[in-house]
A and B are shown apart, each in its own frame.
Chain A
Amino acid sequence: MSRHPLFMPLIVVGGLIFGFGLGFSHMARPEVVIDFLTFEDFGLLFVMFGGSIVAGLAFWSLSSTGGSAPLTGRPYGRRLKSFDRNVLLGGSVFGVGWGLSGICPGAAYASLGVGNWPILYALAGMFVGAYLQGVWRSESSTTGSAVPSDD
């Protein structure tokens, strides 16, 4: 599998901006997320809306050109996933975890970057959780029909 030489550098640049933004937004701090969820500070709405509007403009403008990406040849498309009960079930389980801990995956990575070493407890938990559901679901579906995703 050969990749364009600029593929990894671009991932690095995108990740650096993404992580800096999570630090700047304070979303890397569980306390800020918990304050949002308990109606103490509604600022996090601007993180999600600001982020999705910028990303949405890029998705919309590029996918409407019908072109494909220079580094991968992939056609520009939107992020569309099929709806089923798992979206509600998984979303609910995630909601319990997010409400209890105040941390989600991307913010947890950024939290490590701002020097918050106790977030390693959360990251360890996330790997345990991802492993558990992977074991359950690998056993329930022996065919490899699952579609890879880009989350």
Chain B
Amino acid sequence: MITDFLGSGAIETLFPNGISRYAIGGLLVGLGTAVIYLGTAITAGASTFLESTLSYVSDRSRFQQYRASRDWRVVFTVSIIAGAGVYALIYQGEPWALAGSAWITEVAPWRLFVGGIFVGIGTRIGKGCTSGHGICGVGSVSRTSLVGVATFLVVAIITANIVAAVGVTP
């Protein structure tokens, strides 16, 4: 159907790595969110952890407002790390062999660090990140989140293409 419309080879061009890994991964991300929601009615996003964890070391009101949720947010984040670790143990390298199961980025440290600063500022001012706005907000058909997602997606596309155009690799 869509291949007829776009011509043969279009799927391979748009999705050179297929779609199953993305679709299955996305469904699991949604399932993890749904499991927590089912038991708690909490629409858990990832970026509040940054501020709630800072409440352990800073008395600023911006961080202290998250005091009540800071402990479970640490548990949530550690569990995300562990869940990804299970994936790595099974699928990266020999299954269940620790040696050789790590995957390491080639993106330059300065890009990660400087980008991280912008991500830390922007997600907190903008009321959400790719999981808060992108999964929970879009799932809630929240107009605020739809606008938020459109904003960061467009700006990220522009930024990534500028970075690629000026020849910063990787």
Please give the residue numbers on chain A whose beta carbons come within 8 Å of chain B beta carbons, in ascending order.
1, 6-8, 10-31, 34, 37-38, 40-59, 62, 68-72, 74-83, 86-119, 121-135, 137-138, 141-142, 144, 146, 148-151
- Interfacial residues of chain B within 90-136, with CB under 8 A of chain A in the complex: 91-92, 101-107, 109-136
CB <8 Å contact, A83 and B144: yes
Chain B residues near A25: list those with CB within 8 A: 21-22, 24-26, 28-29
Interface residues on B, range: 35 or more
CB <8 Å contact, B34 and A125: no
CB <8 Å contact, B123 and A151: yes
Chain A residues near B77: list those with CB within 8 A: 15, 109
CB <8 Å contact, B35 and A13: yes
User: With A14-B44, A25-B21, A151-B128 known to touch, is A51 a contact of B33 (CB < 8 Å)?
Assistant: yes
Q: In the docked arrangement, what's the CA distance between A109 and B83, Å?
A: 10
CB <8 Å contact, A94 and B118: yes
CB <8 Å contact, A133 and B121: yes
Q: In the docked arrangement, what's the CA distance between A126 and B120, Å?
A: 4
| B interface majority secondary structure | helix
Chain A residues near B122: list those with CB within 8 A: 90-97, 129
User: With A19-B83, A42-B15, A128-B120 known to touch, is A81 a contact of B127 (CB < 8 Å)?
Assistant: yes
CB <8 Å contact, B40 and A7: yes
CB <8 Å contact, A55 and B135: yes
CB <8 Å contact, B140 and A59: yes
Task: Please tell me if B61 contacts chain A, counting CB pairs below 8 Å.
Answer: yes
Please give the residue numbers on chain B whose beta carbons come within 8 Å of chain A beta carbons, in ascending order.
14-19, 21-51, 53-54, 58, 60-66, 68-69, 72, 75-88, 91-92, 101-107, 109-145, 147-149, 151-164, 170
CB <8 Å contact, B41 and A115: no
**Nearest chain-A residue to B121 (Cβ)?**
A129
The smallest beta-carbon distance between B124 and chain A, in angstroms, is 5
CB <8 Å contact, B22 and A87: no
User: With A90-B122, A93-B122, A138-B61 known to touch, is A59 a contact of B88 (CB < 8 Å)?
Assistant: no
Q: In the docked arrangement, what's the CA distance between A133 and B122, Å?
A: 9
CB <8 Å contact, A138 and B62: yes
**Nearest chain-A residue to B162 (Cβ)?**
A99
CB <8 Å contact, B119 and A106: no
CB <8 Å contact, A81 and B32: no
Interchain residue pairs with CB less than 8 A apart (15)? A10-B35, A18-B76, A43-B19, A55-B135, A69-B37, A80-B140, A86-B126, A94-B119, A100-B159, A101-B114, A103-B119, A104-B131, A130-B54, A134-B62, A138-B60
Q: In the docked arrangement, what's the CA distance between A7 and B54, Å?
A: 22
Contact of B128 among A40, A68, A81, A125 (CB under 8 A): A81
